[in-house]
Homo-oligomer: A and B are copies of this chain.
Amino acid sequence: MRVLLVVAYDGTNYCGWQVQNNGETIEGVLNRELSALFGEEIEVIGASRTDSGVHSLGNVAVFDTATRMPAEKIVYALNKRLPEDIRIQKSCQVADSFHPRKHVCTKTYEYRILNREFELPLQRLNSYFFRRKLDIEKMKEACPFFLGEHDFKSFCSVHTQAETTVRTIYSLTVEQEDSLIKIHVTGSGFLYNMVRILAGTLIQVGIGAYRPEEMAAMIEAKDRQAAGPTAPACGLTLIGMQYEEWPELTELNI
């Protein structure tokens, strides 16, 4: 059977999702522990290959297994074997044809900025500490320019292998809770480093380096040099993904 996992992790101590030669990855840990659990060679297919240091509340992975353990019980057996910085949130059987990267879905990310004079140790795992005071209202004004379908080439690292750089952003919001600024973005998928470049650009708007209305020309330029810097990985969390055909698959009560 094919089994879907919803995977939460603190990415601080991992070299990202995808198996690498030079360090521990989320995918590598899942492959190892699932193989040991079931006594067969297991390789997961991940929905989102998050970068080194990026976190997740709801990444999705599938794998095939011959086990007779009920799919919805696997979450308990697997969590017992996983380190404390990875926790499965759900396991369920899916159709053998289900592939987490080949079905229409939306993804939601959160980028957290701690904007105050001194760092707060308890926030250090999943926020980017930025001392200079940000103008939240300006950051909010910049958001609408990104909504809808655009060629986001300016917001894509040059290393990309993507066939097209056109993506659709359904929502982009900036909200503040005391000194924590949260950027939320939902879209039809994101280019390599796109959310971190968006965050880095909004931060530049927040310090007055760009005016909000400059966003239109920045997108239009289709040139990575036109946008702001890539914000650090530690601030980024993949909140979750929603499959159009199977909304119930990843329904989560965070």
Contact with B along A192-211 (1 / 0, CB 8 A): 00000000000000000000
Query: Among residues 96 to 137 in chain A, which have CB atoms less than 8 Å away from a CB atom of chain B?
Result: 116-122, 124-126
Which interface class (under 10, 10 to 19, 20 to 34, 35 or more) fits A?
20 to 34
Q: List, in ascending order, chain B residues with CB within 8 A of A122's CB.
A: 8, 10, 55, 57, 125-126, 237
Closest chain-B Cβ to A169's Cβ sits at a distance in Å of 24
Stretch from A44-52, A63-71, A85-93, A160-168 that touches the partner: A85-93
Q: For the complex, give the distance between the alpha carbons of A87 and B75 in Å.
A: 37
Closest chain-B Cβ to A9's Cβ sits at a distance in Å of 5
Interface status of A95 (Cβ within 8 A of chain B): no
Pair B84/A121 contact, Cβ less than 8 Å? yes
Q: List, in ascending order, chain B residues with CB within 8 A of A84's CB.
A: 119, 121, 124
Pair B85/A254 contact, Cβ less than 8 Å? no
Q: For the complex, give the distance between the alpha carbons of A41 and B254 in Å.
A: 49
A-B contact pairs, 17 of them (CB 8 A): A8-B118, A10-B124, A57-B122, A84-B121, A84-B124, A85-B121, A87-B118, A87-B119, A87-B120, A87-B121, A89-B118, A116-B253, A120-B254, A122-B125, A122-B126, A125-B125, A178-B253
